[in-house]
Amino acid sequence: MPTPVDLAALRRHAVARSLFAPTTLVKAVERLGGFVQADPLRAPARAQDLTLRHRVKGYRAGDLERRYPRLDLQEDFFINYGFVTPTLRALMHPRTARLAWDAPRWKLADAVLAEVQRLGEAHPADVDAALGHGPVKNWFGGNSRLSTELLDGLHFRGHLDVVRRDSGTRVYRLAQPWQPHPDPQAAMDALADVVIQKYAPLPAGSLSTLISMLASGARQWQELRKPTLARARERLAGARVDGVDWYWPAGEDPARGWRVPAQVRLLAPFDPVVWDRRRFELLWGWAYRFEAYTPAAKRVRGHYALPLLWRDQVVGWANAGVKGGELKVECGYVAGRAPRDAAFKDALAEEIDRLHVFLGLGG
């Protein structure tokens, strides 16, 4: 008789399947479904680096950006902005944008494309200097260059690739023309499999939300969201646990005894283990919120609180920063104190040592 699935089994399953044995950078991205979310904030490192350090052998902060021009990965938008494999990217293009450009806008965009073609590799400042488009108001009320806005829009629409970054600024080149997928439903099913692979096990509400979010990366097929969700439910394994329906890839068994090491891990706010806040609260019984954009006076846990995972329990959070070349880590705990397990103190010290090395501060 199969072992019943309970919340404890789902926790172990969620942690063990995502925090797999460290491998190469590209293989790690592939194991994560082909997508790593990116974020520009650095506290103490960018989210993509904090995510990959647990999953890539010998990873150091900034390795992804340094190695990017030689990697078979591309910056692009999926359900969020990040780094994707060519296979995943090909499922989304050619895609439409939420706001269609009119003829005058496309005339400006075509001039940008022509300038990128002339330059070969185009920095936004060089494009702007050549075309003199000038400033515009952006979507959040600030000022940006029209050339930069057009480059971003052309990249989203698949007309441009990001070659590299110069001091954090994207450098572009022309992309190869995209061939439409011959079977849109098959493409949407494959996109659904990506988010399921990345974030399973998933409560029913989260599965529905993620399928809806696929329209961000493949808006041309947004009418297929409902059948894609229905088809996903049919092919996935699942169980009802404490009144909630959960789903995971067929062939996996959350109750098989997934091994979780006695290790502390400080996770990025967007790490797949903790990214889904609905799932987080169901699995760990408390609410984690990303507070970087919350006014300082209203923050509960800190500007960039990193969820603190001990074995298969998220027991608290940590705020980490580098001042004067020294790493400072301050921890808080849901229970009001650190776990009394004697091994926890040593495991936390080992994780902070790993963070030192990752940041290039020594062992």
Given 174, 196, 223, the domain boundary residue is: 174
Structural domain includes residue 2: no
pTM assigned to the model: 0.94
56 Cα distance to chain centroid? 15
Check which CATH number belongs to the domain holding 110 and give it: 1.10.10
Asked whether residue 78 is domain-assigned, the answer is no
The verdict on residue 269 lying in a domain is yes
Query: Tokens representing 146?
Result: 């029209």
Instruction: Answer yes or no: is 61 within a domain.
Output: no
Beta strands in 88-194 (DSSP E): 135-137, 143-145, 160-166, 169-174
* Contacts made by residues 92-97, CB under 8 angstroms, sequence distance 24+: 92/158, 92/191, 92/217, 92/218, 93/158, 93/178, 94/157, 94/158, 94/178, 94/180, 94/220, 95/157, 95/158, 95/217, 95/218, 95/219, 95/220, 96/157, 96/219, 96/220, 97/153, 97/156, 97/157, 97/219
Within a domain: 352 = yes
* Count of the separate structural domains present in the chain: 2
Q: Which residue has the tokens 């090491």?
A: 261
Q: Is residue 63 in some structural domain? A: no
Domain hosting 135: range is 103-174
| Position 338 in a domain | yes
On the 0-12 / 13-18 / 19+ scale of CB atoms within 10 A, 29 is: buried
Among candidate residues 174, 189, 220, the one where a domain is terminated: 174
CA distance 300 to 303: 9
The tens place of each residue's pLDDT in the chain, 363 residues long, gives 467 899 999 999 999 999 999 999 999 999 999 999 999 999 999 999 999 999 999 999 999 999 999 999 999 999 999 999 999 999 999 999 989 999 999 999 999 999 999 999 999 999 999 988 766 655 545 557 888 999 999 999 999 999 999 999 999 999 999 999 999 999 999 999 999 999 999 999 999 999 999 999 999 999 999 999 999 999 999 999 999 999 999 999 999 889 999 999 999 999 999 999 999 999 999 999 999 999 999 999 999 999 999 999 999 999 999 998 899 999 999 999 999 988 999 999 999 999 999 999 965
Tokens 């949407």, located at residue: 188
Indicate the residue among 132, 151, 174 that finishes a domain: 174
Domain-located, residue 344 = yes
Beta strands 81-84; 202-203: pairing state? unpaired
